Structure 1
Amino acid sequence: MSPQTLDKAPDGGWGWVIVVASFAGQFLAYGSPQSVGVLYPEWLDAFQEGKGLTAWVGSVVYGAGLIASPICSACVINFGARPVTVFSGIMVAGGLILSAFAPNVPFLIFSYGVVDTAGLGCGLVYAATVTITCQYFDKRRGLALGIVTTGTSVGGFLYATTQNKLIELFGLEGCLLIIGAFSLNLMACAGPMRPLHPPGYYLKQKAAYERTEEQVFSQPEKPGASEEPLQPTAASNGVAKDPLITVEAKDTPVDGERSLLGGSPLVLAVRKRQRAYCKYMRSTGRFLEDRVFTALCVSLFLFTLGAFPPVLFMEDVAQSEGLIDGVSVIPLVSIVALTTGLGKLALGAVMDLRWIDSTHLYAFTMVGTGTTLLLIPVSESYAALQVLSGLVGFFSGNWSITPYVTTKIVGIEQLTEAYGVLMFFGGFGTILGPPVVGWFYDCTQSYDVAFYFSGSCVVLGGVLLFLSALPCWERRKRENSRPEIHMNMGHLVTARLSCLA
């Protein structure tokens, strides 16, 4: 099948194949990171390190990939979703297999966290699948994104139980080796990702090929012997100059470039890249001039700072409080993953309703998540933790509508770059959240203060986003943009007399 060159999103057809492939890609890439809470107690027992240090493994596995989102977005723009997904499959599998041989926690942070996600693994998969899904869908974008991002939740639900069983049968090292080998199927998910638009690298190569072809087939005509010799032209200062000399002077380097290495190809290439990077930074800075987008970035930072730790610490909370011995048949991480999938589907379907304000709904889910986190310290039974885990998971399903909200703010043309900037803020919150909670526990020997802190951050983020998206800001902006007319009574009388005359 030849690549499509449509300008309008098909909203179906091959787009549903893209949805299935993207679902499978996120399932394979994020299954183990989503259920990292099952591995966390095993790492605590194996390495005998503090909870604050060990928590860096789970936080880096998400945060590093999100921080590298601008780089991931640039890779998808230039090379397309298919090659990026193939490369990410190699990195995800390599990171998991390398983690099986980790001798200590710092090495595990590098192998499971950095190699697995930092712009080369899961982050590339997420950027590729979200971008190509948004390109193929317009009217049904919310539903499509909900299905695609549900892959992470289904993966977390199944991987949590599977990894727990593999640890019992083959140990921690054997579990990571098997999961890593299974992740190689990510490369097969890249096959159906047919690009709707040619990527930037392809367009650059095509333009370069066309220029080379024109130079080969268009030979310059040599002047005949009967033609008159070129006459010198007078310059503005009265000095005669030959046109050939003038043309050659344009190609010669200026005084600054005549210095050592000034006109070398390496220096020229570096200057060209520098101009491209400066242009990219200026375009990125323009996104932050938008009030709602800036509030969304800050809110996502606060949300990831407080909402991610329960995924990592929920099992340890139950064991520390004496509510359960060991990991249950259906871990709390699996409950979070299952309800997150339901939340993604429900919120994605609701987003397609015209009367729903996507930004306000996103803020509501943040407030709901924060309120639930504040109730975790006062829970006194394992059943209560199960219910609260389900609520946290359902409200955390707002990840499926994050690209939708971003598209409504900046437009589909700038989605990839803006989404990379947004995930950059989210990455910092994800990296800092679990270590902060772990340090709170190391200092107080209790999770109460940590979860009060996390819940307050998430509620603050939701309130901030809700206030920034109120319609009164737009109304005030329109009123301030109206021109003011100052006219006294004398000018009014003079104007009427002139009209009567």
Structure 2
Amino acid sequence: MASSKALDGGWGWAIVAASFMAQLLAYGSPQSVGVLYPEWLHTFQEGKGMTAWVGSLVAGVGLIASPVCSACVENFGARPVTVFSGVMVAGGLMLSAFAPNVQFLIFSYGIVVGLGCGLVYAATLTITCQYFDKRRGLALGIVTTGTSVGAFIYATAQNELMVLFGLDGCLLIIGAIALNLMACAGFMRPLNMPGYYLKQKAALERNTGEQLLEKPPLEDVKIMTGSSITTPPTVKELLISIDTKDLAVQMETKKGCCMSGFVIMKMIKKKQQAYSKYIYSMYEILQDQSMVAFCIAIFLFSLGAFPPVLFIEDVAQSEGLIEEVSIIPLVSIGAIATCVGKLVLGMLVDLRWINSIYLYGFTMFAGGLALFLIPITKSYVGLQILTAVLGFFSGNWSLTSYITTKIVGLDRLTQAHGILMFFGGFGIMLGPPVVGWFFDWTQSYDLAFYFSGTCVVLGAFILFVLTLPCWNRKNVENAKSDIQYTSTCDKVISVA
């Protein structure tokens, strides 16, 4: 039986390294999609609003599907989910190489790759939180820098690959590289058995006990084990040889069709109760005022701060600040700054005297001010500086899991983080098309960036106000009692 105690080291650092590489491989191309965006505009000759859907969906779909992704990780574990995500990310990138139009690209690159990235994100953050307690902020900071390092490397690499092999060849090559996600999954040894395997094990042991008490005929044992053993099989042998579903079908067939129908209805009712309980627990999480404030802040920050990642290269070209993409693109500068921001903020949040929610609010406010300054900047150097500043404060993504754990507790982290990422993904999905439509309407990015800055600053204000101690004192006491109660229930469910 695996220990439930956070290790804060040992194999945990192997988990951090594997998760870092997994996020680098999955998010490298989506985070540097701004480099591909001008090429898609030239190739497909669509409007900027329509083409922007590709970049917004690849970042937003995975986060919107976070509740589902988190449920997959909770039930099946980080390792199988990461393997499956490797197939999705690589397949989506390779399929995008054969896209005949933007609509096909929206599906292959935006939805398929986006869902694969969402699975990787949920798996890596969940397993990292399980392995770390005191150093959780630092560990999450290192893991989430994988996306930024990937964006820096892929931004330059994709430029070079497009020059050498064209857009199609570039997508095929980075798709093949993404298959290494399966190798990263091999290091993700589970600290706790996932819910699906615990339920299967309990069902197998219960059915095996019944089978031994009933003393099945020797012919049945021969069929199930494939051997001519004359002695009754042990529990271990039955656990290996008998599948729960097959055993249930065999037993119910003997009792008649009516009994089988009754059992099926009972199973459906049990599943409905499980889903109802899951939805109700999500409703309970959203009763916490701090959690609601954090969800609103994440939505507004994603709505305003993500578009520069996609449009910043086009801003520089459309304003005449640079004729071609430079050796180190603005996307790469922002990615490196985000990497530094994630590490610095991850270390800061581990300090006991720093309030993690207020730190997040400050990063939002500073990022909003940088967005306001982008339209009035008339030099490429100024654009580089503002990109770096915005990138640094965008490193606050490394704080999301930490803050979520502080608000709802480790027992509810998977569900709460899924809800939070849903709001973030919704904002990311809407942001770039809105900015693109602003440009198509006004032929300028100025109004779009003023809108983005307003959203981010408003989110910071809401977060500060709704998490003030005078508002939240009673909620904190209730949350503590809820967390203790939930922890007990989870233990009972696991045993059952």
Residue of structure 2 equivalent to 1:168: 163
Aligned match of 1:202: 197
Question: Residues of 2 paired with 1:470 and 1:333: CA distance?
Answer: 36
Q: Aligned residue for 1:392? A: 390
Pairing of 1:283-302 with structure 2 (within 5 A): 283-302=281-300
Moved over 6 A (4+): 476-479
Q: Distance in 2 between matches of 1:264 and 1:435?
A: 51
* 1:81/1:190 contact within 8 Å kept: yes
Matched residue pairs, number? 435
SS at match of 2:354: coil
1:261–1:267: 8 Å Cα contact kept in structure 2?
A: no
For 1:373 and 1:445, locate their aligned partners in 2 and report how far apart those are by CA, in whole Å: 18
Q: Secondary structure at the match of 1:378?
A: coil
Contact 2:289 2:472 (8 Å CA) reproduced: no
Instruction: Give the corresponding residue for 2:333.
Output: 335
Q: Which residue of 2 aligns with 1:430?
A: 428
Q: Select 2:418's aligned residue among 420, 435, 441.
A: 420
* Equivalence for 1:153: 148
- Contact 2:76 2:196 survives alignment (8 Å): yes
Q: Which amino acid in the other structure matches residue 439 of structure 1? A: W
Q: 2:184 aligned with 1:189, yes or no?
A: yes
| 2:9 counterpart (8, 12, 17) | 12
Measure the CA separation in 1 of the matches of 2:476 and 2:457.
30
Does the 8 A contact of 2:58 with 2:113 survive in 1? yes
The amino acid of 1:83's aligned partner reads: P
Q: CA deviation at 1:194?
A: 0.5
State which of 54, 57, 63 in structure 2 corresponds to 1:57.
54
Distance 1:428 1:265 in 2: 40
Offset at 1:272? 2.9
- Separation in structure 2 between the aligned mates of residue 77 and residue 67 of structure 1, nearest angstrom: 17
1:472 is displaced (CA, Å) by 2.0
Determine which of 50, 58, 79 is the counterpart of 1:82: 79
Q: Distance in 2 between matches of 1:19 and 1:343?
A: 18
What is the aligned partner in structure 2 of residue 471 from structure 1?
Answer: 469
Give 1:5 shift. 1.1
Instruction: Answer yes or no: is the 8 Å Cα contact 2:22–2:184 preserved in 1.
Output: yes
Which amino acid is the alignment partner of residue 71 of structure 1? V
Distance 1:282 1:269 in 2: 20
- Please tell me the residue identity of whatever aligns with 1:115: V
Question: Cα distance, 1:477 vs. partner?
Answer: 7.4
Q: Which of 131, 136, 140 pairs up with 1:136? A: 131
Check conservation: 2:290, 2:472, Cα contact below 8 A: no
For 1:129 and 1:388, the matched residues in 2 are separated by: 30
1:191-340 equivalent positions in 2, closer than 5 A:
191-219=186-214, 263=261, 267-340=265-338
Q: Which residue of 1 aligns with 2:362?
A: 364
- Structure showing greater radius of gyration is 1
1:443 — aligned with what? Answer: 441
Per-residue CA distance 1:24-54 (angstroms, 9 max, x = gap):
0000000000100000000000000000000
1:475 Cα shift?
A: 5.0
Q: Decide whether aligned partners of structure 1 residues 451 and 129 sit closer, same or farther in structure 2, where only a CA change above 3 A counts.
A: same
Cα deviation for residue 269 of structure 1 reads: 3.8
**Segment drifting more, 434-443 vs 468-477:** 468-477
Given the two structures, how large is their TM-score scaled by the length of structure 1? 0.85
2:338–2:392: 8 Å Cα contact kept in structure 1? yes
- Cα distance in structure 1, aligned partners of 2:200 and 2:352: 42
Q: What does residue 254 of structure 1 align with?
A: none
Kept in 1: contact 2:63–2:424 (CA 8 A): yes
* Aligned-pair CA distance for 1:273: 2.4
Gaps of 5+ in 1: 221-259, 480-501
What displacement does 1:274 show?
2.2
Separation (CA, whole Å) in 2 of partners of 1:122 and 1:476: 38
Q: Is the 8 A contact 1:80 1:195 kept in 2?
A: yes
Tell me the C-alpha RMSD between the 2 structures: 1.7
Distance 1:318 1:401 in 2: 30
Kept after mapping to 2: 8 A contact 1:35/1:157: yes
Q: Deviation per CA, 1:365-388, whole angstroms, max 9, x where unpaired? A: 011111100100000100000000
Measure the CA separation in 2 of the matches of 1:208 and 1:40.
51
Q: Deviations over 1:302-342 (max 9, x none)?
A: 01001000000000000000000121110000001000000
* Offset, 1:276: 1.8
